[in-house]
Amino acid sequence: MMVLCLDFGNSQLKYACLAGDQLVDWGTIKEANFLSISSICQNKQIDSIILSSVIDVPTDLINALKDFAPFHQLSSTSLTQVNYKEYDKTTLGVDRLALAEGAQVLYPNSNHLSICMGTCITYNWVVDGHFKGGAISPGLMMRTKSMHDYTAHLPLISPQMDFPLLGHSTVSNLLAGTMSGIRLEVQGFIEEMRKQDPKLVVLICGGDAPFFIPKLRAFDVQFEAELIWKGLAALAKLN
């Protein structure tokens, strides 16, 4: 069974095709229209489609997807393996529903904290299959862009794999504040959560994760680049 997973975020429109648990194709979509999506389906037998979107999606695209294959748009009413009795599911973004589900699929017998480093940095905490809570903070580009946009003279910096704890120039100060700031934030969440649950599994994903994974290895984190796709594929089957 091949599932087409669509993840429409604030920064990118992404897709992945999964056959069972295997990721067979993935990439980005230029525009939210059926022509763009149908082009990636050529020579593939798509058995179902699931859409996770934090942006408004044109109605004609939804209708076209429904005609193309069995379709489900992820929402707060979707069936999930994760239990939300202790959390108001209607206030949780669908991307976070998918991430929590992916973590639950990978670690069904463990408590887990999934951290996604994208436009925003999101934290999702699940204990015994129950969603307990989370957090949202500005992501890397949001931080660098806001310091440039809201000041007269601070430059817009580019992320770097090698960044200092403290800088010795304006640019290196900005790198330290954003990159080391994020690293210390994530590290702090992990350390505080592990005080409550020393065996907590920590999963990290998202487009900006590769900048920080090398400096977080000592904290026993798992880099799961396909986390949202695994969650969406599981939700497609469940719904």
Burial bucket for residue 119 (CB in 10 Å: 0-12, 13-18, 19+): buried
* Residue 99 annotated as binding site: no
Pair of tokens at residue 170: 């304006």
Q: How many CB atoms lie within 10 A of CB 139?
A: 23
* Residue 95 annotated as binding site: yes
* Residue 7 annotated as binding site: yes
List Cβ neighbours of 143 (8 Å cut-off, separation of 6 or more): 177, 178, 181, 182
Pair of tokens at residue 140: 């890397």
* Residue 11 annotated as binding site: yes
* Residue 94 annotated as binding site: yes
Burial bucket for residue 83 (CB in 10 Å: 0-12, 13-18, 19+): middle
Active site residue 95: yes
* Residue 93 annotated as binding site: yes
Check 67, 95, 208, 220 and give the catalytic one: 95
* Residue 76 annotated as binding site: no
- H helices of 87-149, in order, are 94-106, 140-149
* Residue 12 annotated as binding site: yes
List, as residue ranges, the binding site for substrate: 84, 93-96, 170
Annotation: binding site for ATP: 7-14, 119
Active site residues: 95
